[in-house]
């Protein structure tokens, strides 16, 4: 009986760690990524376009899941978000501030259960930061305009960038092209 309980606890612990990992652990540290980090960090430091609000205001404007993800750096459960399987044409905006972050032309099915893109609309719309939480080394992706947590970027994506921006649906608002189904 003790061995069964020990094995069950081990499985639960490993499963919980995998769930917390989100799309997985990865170190994104190529020369291209260093250039992107430099560019996006400069954008984050440009205060003229940056939106800052008190938490009380964010709580009024965002639904509870959006607040948890964007402001508290939460992660939605895989395969449950609104946009993980969306194939419609359009743009993905930040749910916090409305900035256009990604376009559907760069979205691909990575199989991880979160919307995945191989590139942002341009390097200035997202910022990156080191994330060493949950005993992993990852690169966090943030909205450059409002600082909202979007997800993480990994170095296992398709060409042309080799990157996979693994983004929470709760941090996005999809805007379809006119005439496209929603």
DSSP-H helix ranges across the chain: 2-20, 31-45, 55-61, 64-70
Q: What is the 3-state secondary structure (H, E, C) of the chain?
A: CHHHHHHHHHHHHHHHHHHHCCCCCCCCCCHHHHHHHHHHHHHHHCCCCCCCCCHHHHHHHCCHHHHHHHCCCCCCCCCCCCCCCCCCCEEEEECCCCCEEEEHHHEECCCCCCCEECCCCCCCCEEEEEECHHHCCEEEEEECCCCCEEEEEECCCCCCCCCEEEECHHHEEEEECCCCCC
Q: Which among 23, 94, 146, 166 is annotated as catalytic? A: 166
Q: Is there a catalytic annotation at residue 166?
A: yes
The structure tokens 């419609």 sit at 88
- Catalytic residue set: 166
């Amino acid at each position: 009986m003790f061995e069964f309980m020990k094995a069950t606890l081990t499985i639960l612990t490993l499963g919980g760690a995998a769930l917390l990992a989100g799309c997985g652990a990865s170190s994104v540290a190529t020369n291209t990524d260093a250039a992107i980090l430099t560019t996006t960090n400069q954008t984050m430091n440009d205060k003229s376009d940056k939106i800052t609000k008190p938490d009380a205001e964010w709580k009024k404007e965002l639904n509870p899941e959006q607040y948890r993800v964007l402001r508290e750096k939460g992660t939605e459960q895989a395969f449950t978000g609104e946009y993980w399987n969306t194939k419609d044409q359009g743009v993905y905006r930040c749910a916090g501030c409305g900035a256009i972050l990604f376009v559907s032309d760069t979205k691909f099915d990575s199989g991880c259960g979160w919307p995945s893109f191989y590139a942002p609309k341009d390097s200035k719309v997202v910022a990156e930061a080191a994330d060493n939480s949950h005993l992993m080394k990852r690169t966090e992706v943030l909205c450059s305009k409002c600082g909202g947590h979007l997800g993480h970027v990994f170095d296992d994506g398709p060409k042309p960038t080799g990157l996979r921006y693994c983004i929470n649906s709760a941090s996005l608002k999809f805007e379809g092209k006119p005439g496209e189904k929603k």
